[in-house]
Structure 1
Amino acid sequence: MATPLEQLVGHYERRYPVAADGLVIGCVGQDVPVELVTAAGALPVRLAGRPGTDVTEGETYLGRGVDPAASSVLTRLLTGEYGRLDRLLVSRDCEASLRLFYAVRELRRLEPGLGLPETYLVDVLHLPHWTTTRYVEGRFAELVAVLERWTGTRLTGPRIASAIMAHDARRDLWRAVSALRRDLRLTGVQALAAFGAVLPVVEHNRLLRQLLKSDLDVHTGRRIFVTGSSHDNPEVYRSLEEAGCVVVGEDHDWGDLLAARLVGEPTLAALVERYQYNGPTAARGSIADRAAHTARAAVDCAAELVVSYVRRNDDAPPWDFPAQKEALGRHGIPAVMFEHQEYGSIDLAEVFVG
């Protein structure tokens, strides 16, 4: 019988095509409140690209100046690789996601034969003001109405509360998974699988609890913390770990940042503030906030080196790096940036491991 870790890795590697009994709602970006999707009785599935494949079809509509991860997602939507996606929620977490939303919306209007799912934009702002909170409250109220129309399910207070508690429980479990990785009992690749396996939240929580009770091997290698572009696939982590490293932490929204902030009180108002104040990501946080966050997280992970990995056409991370390097230097942690990298690969020609 497969171990809990093997099951999680399997669910991660076989994320698509999606097979589910109920409504499947694709999600693009970290600002989609998956709790509301769960409360509506649907399965939220965050969409990842696929490195190393032809993205010409996606680039036809997005152009070649967009983050190739977004072009890959659009290509997979157009070719049907995700399987059954009944609806699509896209958050405005970065420019690439926004462009993807407009492309899907227009393609549905102009070429209905493509069969793209009905889509809705989740617009979350992140300024620390009460007026921003009121704005996001309005957008979440609109989303509730959209989900009720899509699913035919009334999103009552108890349903929303139950979903919030289930997802907060998963965030607590993800934090425990991160602690295992800091103790070198999981690799970075394995941790990404534990975070990104596509499962209903209750089933995901069950496997994570079993994982935490498992007898796991201890790994060795140079302790690496990853910043910069996000990683929706394990290829870059795998390259680093095959080069003698262990990725012990990261600050992007496919990893530790998913668990950085709980909702707490199981109410819609608290959910709004969780998404408003979650971060900071490279695309949304200030340079100072990013530097402070990266330094704290790298110290907590006892990182020996911080790697800023920056994909081609991902313009935000290089602005952060000088301040990050300075903040890390105050803790004696060196940092290196790999810029203009192709999606899913890292050029290790200048070997930095010894």
Structure 2
Amino acid sequence: MNPAKANPGEALEAASELYARRVERAREEAAAGRTVVGFVGADVPRELIVAAGAIPLRLHSRPGFASGDAKDLLGEAIDPVAHSILGQILAGELDFLAGIAFSRDSSASLQQFYVARQLASRRPSLPPVHLVDLLHLRRESSLEYDRREVHRFAKTLSNWTGREVSAETLREAMRGCSELRERLGKAQKLRREGRLTGSQSLHLFAAAESLHPRDALKLVNRALLEQADTAEIDGLRVFFSGSGQDTDTIYACLEALGAHIVGEDHDWGQLRLTVSCDPSASDHVEGLLDELARAYHRSGPAAATSAMAERARWTVDQARFAGVGMVLCFTRAFDDAPAWDYPPQRELLAEADIPSVLLSRQPADGSPQQLERALAPFLERTTAGQL
């Protein structure tokens, strides 16, 4: 008997448990003598962290946690996710990290970097920090800038870990991350078929952001085996657009209301699959670094770094492909970029005969009442067999 088939749901339960204690597990890895590097934002190349001999950990907010000091340092008018992450840094909860890399994929990430850099210069116990400043304009000059940034980050990582990034280690890391993305793509197929929930998909994506690729791959492969023959999930098929969801609170609320979230356009979900790099692009580390820069340069389209028309087309294409009953655009307070994308999205969605709703400037954990009001008309139509 196949052991994976003997215990359906076991891998998803493991992914759920990991999701709830991503930082704690990474701290245990560090206590066991393994090097862990934290990062904030979507533009930090995970492959480089792995190639430098470290485990990547994408930092995330903690519902209800934000220190007063973090709010004083960053100001009130900023995405509350930033308050929570900086609060963990200030509290010393992330001192086990060998370093923290921040990407410039949002103003909140950039402001966290500036504050953390000042703090690190005064408090030796804090991890060193680095800014990965990638551009996404489809220009050769921007790509050249990104190449220099990726090479610079490789040197920083070697200083943090004491291990040089070589052609061999980078090729192996690129191969592992590429295979992991391919398998996550298979998981999204199961999701569209109704065999994985949106929350379960978030858990698998997060495993890829907080484990070594080989360990994440084992978990995802187990989930694929276990869920291949499960019963299909009923419910209103929803495509989630807007603010990135680094916790599953909003998804769980929507699912409790009767929604099946079949896709999203944020970088804690499907948008991560847009990175595509070729491990065989070069025999030399410089060429592989250039390939990695190209892959992240062309990734997206994210709300804060892409043209509105480009993002609208991507979102609508994905929603149409998933066969959704509606698109929900949900944006947090002080995370306005996704809301700016909504008008062109709404226009293209209307042309595709896909209804949509915008909930803007929402609290970080959402409002169950507003979510219920947004979905109610579509849930009624689903029950009546009209969607």
Q: TM-score range by the shorter chain?
A: over 0.9
**C-alpha separation between the residues in 1 aligned to 2:293 and 2:101?**
16
Identity of aligned residues (%): 35
Shift of 1:262: 1.4
- Residue in 2 aligned with 1:100? 112
Q: Report if aligned partners of 2:44, 2:101 keep a CA contact under 8 Å in 1.
A: yes
**C-alpha separation between the residues in 2 aligned to 1:191 and 1:339?**
24
- Residue in 2 aligned with 1:277? 298
**C-alpha separation between the residues in 1 aligned to 2:66 and 2:101?**
24
**C-alpha separation between the residues in 2 aligned to 1:99 and 1:259?**
26
Shift of 1:5: 1.3
- Residue in 1 aligned with 2:10? 3
Q: Report if aligned partners of 1:16, 1:83 keep a CA contact under 8 Å in 2.
A: no
**C-alpha separation between the residues in 2 aligned to 1:89 and 1:69?**
16
Gaps of 5+ in 1: none
- Residue in 1 aligned with 2:239? 225
Amino acid at match of 1:313: F
Q: Report if aligned partners of 1:27, 1:89 keep a CA contact under 8 Å in 2.
A: yes
- Residue in 2 aligned with 1:157? 167
Question: Is 1:201 matched up with 2:213?
Answer: yes
Q: Report if aligned partners of 1:39, 1:160 keep a CA contact under 8 Å in 2.
A: yes
Q: Report if aligned partners of 1:26, 1:85 keep a CA contact under 8 Å in 2.
A: yes
SS at match of 1:247: strand
Amino acid at match of 2:134: V
Shift of 1:78: 1.3
Shift of 1:350: 2.2
The more displaced of 16-25 and 301-310 is 16-25
Shift of 1:352: 2.3
**C-alpha separation between the residues in 1 aligned to 2:98 and 2:91?**
15
Question: Is 1:248 matched up with 2:262?
Answer: yes
Evaluate the alpha carbon distance shift between residue 54 and residue 98 of structure 1 in structure 2; reply closer, same or farther with a 3 A threshold.
closer
**C-alpha separation between the residues in 2 aligned to 1:351 and 1:42?**
43
Amino acid at match of 2:252: R
What are the equivalent positions in structure 2 for 1:1-354 lying under 5 Å apart?
3-17=10-24, 18=26, 19-20=28-29, 21-82=33-94, 84-110=96-122, 112=123, 115-197=125-207, 198-215=210-227, 216-266=230-280, 267-346=288-367, 347-348=370-371, 350-353=373-376, 354=380
**Residues matched between the structures, number:** 352
Shift of 1:349: 5.3
Shift of 1:146: 1.0
Give CA-to-partner distance per residue, 1:108-158, whole Å, 9 cap, x none.
223x16x32100101101111111111111111111111111112121111
SS at match of 1:348: helix
Shift of 1:83: 6.3
**C-alpha separation between the residues in 1 aligned to 2:80 and 2:154?**
31
SS at match of 2:226: coil
Give CA-to-partner distance per residue, 1:215-252, whole Å, 9 cap, x none.
43421110000111110000000111111101100010
Shift of 1:278: 0.5
Amino acid at match of 1:9: S
**C-alpha separation between the residues in 2 aligned to 1:41 and 1:348?**
43
Q: Report if aligned partners of 2:95, 2:126 keep a CA contact under 8 Å in 1.
A: no
Shift of 1:272: 0.7
**C-alpha separation between the residues in 2 aligned to 1:156 and 1:218?**
45
Give CA-to-partner distance per residue, 1:245-292, whole Å, 9 cap, x none.
011000100000111231124422211111111011110111100110
Amino acid at match of 1:226: F
SS at match of 2:313: helix
**C-alpha separation between the residues in 2 aligned to 1:351 and 1:95?**
29
Aligned alpha-carbon RMSD (Å): 1.5
The more displaced of 215-224 and 299-308 is 215-224
Give CA-to-partner distance per residue, 1:282-334, whole Å, 9 cap, x none.
10111100110010010111111100000000121121101001111111100
Amino acid at match of 1:22: R
Shift of 1:82: 4.3
Shift of 1:12: 1.3
Shift of 1:213: 0.9
Q: Please give the TM-score of this superposition, normalised by the length of structure 1.
A: 0.96
**C-alpha separation between the residues in 2 aligned to 1:351 and 1:123?**
37
**C-alpha separation between the residues in 1 aligned to 2:121 and 2:211?**
31
Q: Please give the TM-score of this superposition, normalised by the length of structure 2.
A: 0.88
Amino acid at match of 1:302: G
**C-alpha separation between the residues in 1 aligned to 2:166 and 2:98?**
22
Say which structure is richer in helix: 2
Query: Greater CA radius of gyration, 1 or 2?
Result: 2
Gaps of 5+ in 2: 1-6, 281-287, 381-387
**C-alpha separation between the residues in 2 aligned to 1:54 and 1:47?**
14
Shift of 1:13: 1.4
